[in-house]
Amino acid sequence: MFLIFALITLIGAVALTFQRNLVVAGLCLVLSFMGVAGLFLLLANPVAAALQIIVYSGAIVVLLLFVIMLLNEHQEEPASRRRPLQRWGSVAVLLVLGAGAVRLVARSQVLRTLDHAPLPPAMTLDSLGQALFRDHLPAFEGVGLLLLAAMVGAVALVKRDL
């Protein structure tokens, strides 16, 4: 089950990287987010999985697809000139980072000892609400204010003559 969701996540991400059509790339992003939500379910965290689907594959991707269709830029335009140094340099950096990640995880003793720890019960909305509104109430209000500020800022950026 873990392997299925991990493959959905990574295949969606790789398909996004190689997809020419921007609308299809946005749908690949939805696939990847759904895989991440499945991983959260397997981590016994249904609250985070629901939030992932609602906020990411709901709100953010819809906004992104809306902008893609509004700007009518469905295809990437052809490159004005070739940049072989940057292209192969970034491929080399990505390969080194990927190999380093596999090596790091395979050799880590800490991850292996944590892996055998007894697993706690699943996350519930009840305990999340208790922690959120008892310990983190000022931060919660601050995030609300931040969302308002971002909304006003986005409108101010897009509006032509304010």
Partner 1 sequence: MTFLCSILSGGLPGYILVALLLFVVGLGAVLGRRSILVQFMGVELMLNAANVALLAFARFRGGDVQGTVFYLFIIAVAACEAAVGLALVVGLYRHRRSTDTDRADALKL
Please, which of residues 103-142 interact with partner 1 by CB under 8 A? 104-106, 108, 111-112, 114-115, 117, 119-121, 123, 127-128, 130-132, 135-136, 139
Cα distance between residue 30 and residue 86, in whole Å: 29
For partner 1, the binding residue among 31, 85, 98, 137 (CB under 8 A) is 98
For partner 1, the binding residue among 50, 53, 67, 141 (CB under 8 A) is 67
Would you count residue 33 as binding partner 1 (CB under 8 A)?
A: yes
Contacts of 23 (CB under 8 A, 6+ apart): 65, 68, 69, 74
Please, which of residues 9-28 interact with partner 1 by CB under 8 A? 9-10, 13-14, 16-17, 22, 25-26
Would you count residue 69 as binding partner 1 (CB under 8 A)?
A: no
**How near is the Cβ of 90 to partner 1 at its closest, in Å?**
4
Residue 80 has, within 13 A of its CA and on its CB side, a CA count of 0
Would you count residue 57 as binding partner 1 (CB under 8 A)?
A: no
Angle between helices 125-135 and 137-158 (to 10 degrees): 90
Please give the angle made by the CA atoms of 61, 66 and 71, to the nearest 5 degrees.
130
